[in-house]
């Protein structure tokens, strides 16, 4: 790491707390003409919105890769790679990089030997497995001896950064934090370095520790998580939404650092990256530092996901016996976020199952006391490919998933037969407008929206058409789309039946 960055003094982090009120101070339509953009020769897209009210800025880096891009054997790797982006570079996170490289090579060799024996299954030699496990543990310890733990995060924090975080979904991987404006060059160096030349140190320690524990907490030890994973497997048979973002445990256990390196080289390329920066920055400075620190990212040409989800030919049902409380889930196949009917899906979900005025809440929760919670939302588990409109209901004590299913289906059938009212449509539009505007508040919210629309819709400018897109939905649109999607053959059902009641 360059010495000039190590010598940067600490800055009061309190300034960052003031950023939440900046970008949202104007109407969002006023902002469209203020967004500036440029694209590096390697394809990295930058979106910049200057706002000089407070001396801080927020950014979002969207990498256009998520679990839907994974294949069998490497499920969960997008999420693991997100963890690796905080492990540093050849300059950050190590006491002796050359020696560390040799130690990591020995660690990889030890893992490969252990994995080869593991994959023999019942034919594996127990004594040899124990010997290989011991050798692998020793190799991991040797490699970790060179690690400076969390140095990347400490540099951000010591220079006034806040909100250092990342997330992985079925569709994308996102990185973010907030920084004082006089640390713009440091930000460009740090973000450019980890996007172009990260070091996947502690790879096996991370995936066998925090990642595995996350899998256990979210899925294996969580009845709803277990059910949703099975439900997702049932609902999607062909496209990348078939498996969950966390991945299968066997893949987490067996994926290697070489697999991670190959996946990174294929997907963390210029044409897959969008960086949005909002706050107290100058466009010329962003461009200068981007050209200096992001140019090393290879251009690349990722292969598109080619498998489309086929039409479902009959209802699918999955019933899981479990000691937990009962749960009902139903999913209907819908088109992706770029489809002309996406705003109609949002209206249907809003009328049926979003908020205390929705039909599900009024009927199931307030009136009949069948459910403690009932909701609907489009985009399960993603929005880039053919996806799902999800219904979820949690029964009250003494009620079952079958009771919730009957009540939810009755409300859906009313919408199919009669449509919705003009008042319902207007109320949903008002809530959608308000929610959309709220999403633009603060530098971080605005940066995230710009990066989202560029990545998902292909052009950040479509952000400023979103309210008009929602406003254009008619009662006839809602009735037409409801009749198209709410048919039994398009439905997948998942139910948890409480074991003691069976």
CATH number of the domain where residue 354 is located: 3.30.830.10
Of 12 and 363, the structure prediction assigns the larger pLDDT to 363
**Looking at 293, 326, 360, which one is the last position of a domain?**
293
The pLDDT of residue 235 = 97
pLDDT digits (tens, 9 = 90+) for 120-134: 999 999 999 999 999
Establish if 186 belongs to a structural domain: yes
- Residue 187 and residue 51 in one domain: yes
- Residue 221 and residue 362 in one domain: no
Mean pLDDT, the chain, whole residue set: 92
The token duo for 491 is: 């439905």
- The one-character DSSP state at 62 is E
- Residue 176 and residue 282 in one domain: yes
**Looking at 261, 293, 325, which one is the last position of a domain?**
293
Q: Which domain holds residue 346?
A: 316-501
Report strand pairing: 35-39 vs 162-168: unpaired
Establish if 65 belongs to a structural domain: yes
Peptide bond into 462 cis (omega under 30): no
- Residue 233 and residue 156 in one domain: yes
Establish if 419 belongs to a structural domain: yes
Under the banding of pLDDT at 50, 70 and 90, the label for residue 18 is very low
The CA distance from 140 to 133, in Å, is 11
The pLDDT of residue 372 = 96
Establish if 433 belongs to a structural domain: yes
The pLDDT of residue 1 = 54
- Residue 212 and residue 72 in one domain: yes
- Residue 197 and residue 267 in one domain: yes
The CA distance from 185 to 288, in Å, is 9
pLDDT digits (tens, 9 = 90+) for 406-420: 999 999 999 999 999
CB 321 within 8 A of CB 287: no
Beta-sheet strand order (sheet of 327-334): 316-322, 491-498, 327-334, 387-395, 371-380
- Residue 438 and residue 327 in one domain: yes
- Residue 282 and residue 211 in one domain: yes
State the average pLDDT over residues 450-456: 97
- Residue 430 and residue 327 in one domain: yes
**Looking at 251, 278, 293, which one is the last position of a domain?**
293
Establish if 30 belongs to a structural domain: no
Report the chain's terminal Cα–Cα distance, integer Å. Answer: 62
The pLDDT of residue 467 = 87
Of 437 and 70, the structure prediction assigns the larger pLDDT to 70
Establish if 325 belongs to a structural domain: yes
The pLDDT of residue 168 = 97
**What percent of the chain shows pLDDT beyond 70?**
94
**What percent of the chain shows pLDDT beyond 90?**
87
The pLDDT of residue 27 = 62
- Residue 346 and residue 265 in one domain: no
- Give yes or no for residue 26 having a pLDDT over 60: no
Is residue 335 left, alpha or beta, with left meaning phi > 0 and alpha meaning psi from -120 to 50? Answer: beta
- Residue 169 and residue 274 in one domain: yes
Q: What are φ and ψ of residue 125, in 5° steps?
A: -85, 115
pLDDT digits (tens, 9 = 90+) for 276-333: 999 999 999 999 999 999 999 999 888 888 789 999 999 999 999 999 999 999 999 9
The pLDDT of residue 438 = 85
Domain count, the chain: 2
State the average pLDDT over residues 368-396: 96
Establish if 141 belongs to a structural domain: no
- Residue 404 and residue 474 in one domain: yes
Establish if 103 belongs to a structural domain: no
What Rg do the C-alpha atoms of the chain give, in angstroms? Answer: 25
């Amino acid at each position: 790491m360059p010495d000039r960055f190590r010598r940067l003094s600490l800055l009061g982090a309190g300034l960052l707390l003031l950023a939440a009120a900046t970008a949202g101070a104007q109407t969002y339509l006023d902002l469209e003409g203020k967004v500036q953009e440029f694209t590096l020769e390697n394809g990295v897209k930058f979106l910049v919105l200057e706002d000089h009210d407070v001396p801080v800025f927020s950014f979002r880096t969207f990498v256009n890769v998520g679990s839907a891009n994974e294949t069998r054997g490497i499920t969960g790797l997008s999420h693991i790679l997100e963890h690796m982006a905080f492990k540093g570079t050849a300059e950050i996170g190590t006491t002796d990089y050359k020696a560390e490289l040799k130690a990591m090579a020995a660690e990889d060799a030890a893992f490969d030997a252990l994995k080869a024996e593991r994959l023999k299954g019942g034919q594996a030699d127990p004594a040899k497995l124990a010997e290989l496990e011991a050798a692998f543990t020793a190799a991991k310890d040797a490699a970790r001896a060179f690690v400076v733990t969390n140095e990347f995060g400490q540099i951000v924090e010591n220079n006034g950064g806040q909100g250092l975080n990342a997330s992985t979904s079925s569709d994308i991987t996102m990185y973010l934090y907030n920084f004082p404006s006089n640390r713009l060059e440091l930000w460009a160096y740090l973000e450019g370095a980890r996007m172009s030349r990260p070091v996947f140190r502690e790879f096996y320690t991370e995936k066998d520790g925090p990642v595995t524990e996350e899998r256990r907490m979210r899925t294996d030890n969580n009845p709803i998580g277990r059910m949703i994973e099975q439900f997702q497997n049932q609902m999607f048979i062909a496209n990348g939404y078939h498996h969950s973002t966390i991945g299968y445990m066997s893949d987490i256990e067996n994926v290697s650092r070489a697999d991670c390196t190959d996946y990174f080289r294929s997907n963390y390329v210029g044409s897959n990256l969008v960086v949005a920066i909002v706050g107290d920055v100058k466009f010329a400075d962003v461009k200068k530092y981007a050209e200096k620190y992001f140019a090393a990212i290879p251009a690349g040409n990722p292969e598109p996901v080619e498998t489309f989800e086929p039409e479902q030919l009959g209802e699918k049902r999955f019933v899981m016996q479990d000691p937990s409380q009962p749960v009902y889930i139903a999913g209907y196949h819908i088109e992706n976020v770029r489809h002309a009917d996406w705003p109609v899906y949002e209206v249907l979900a809003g009328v049926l199952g979003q908020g205390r005025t929705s039909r599900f809440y009024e009927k199931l929760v307030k009136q009949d006391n069948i459910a403690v919670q009932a909701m609907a939302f489009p985009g399960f588990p993603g929005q880039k490919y053919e996806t799902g409109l999800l219904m979820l209901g949690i029964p009250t004590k003494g009620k079952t998933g079958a009771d919730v299913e009957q009540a939810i289906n009755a409300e859906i059938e009313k919408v199919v037969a009669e449509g919705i009212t003009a008042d319902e449509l207007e109320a949903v539009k008002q809530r959608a407008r308000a929610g959309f505007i709220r999403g633009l508040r603060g530098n971080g919210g605005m940066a995230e929206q710009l990066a989202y629309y560029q990545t998902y819709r292909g052009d950040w400018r479509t952000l400023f058409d979103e309210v008009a897109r929602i406003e254009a939905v008619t009662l006839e649109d809602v009735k037409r789309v409801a009749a198209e999607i709410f048919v039994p053959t398009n439905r997948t059902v998942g139910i948890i039946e409480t074991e003691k009641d069976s």
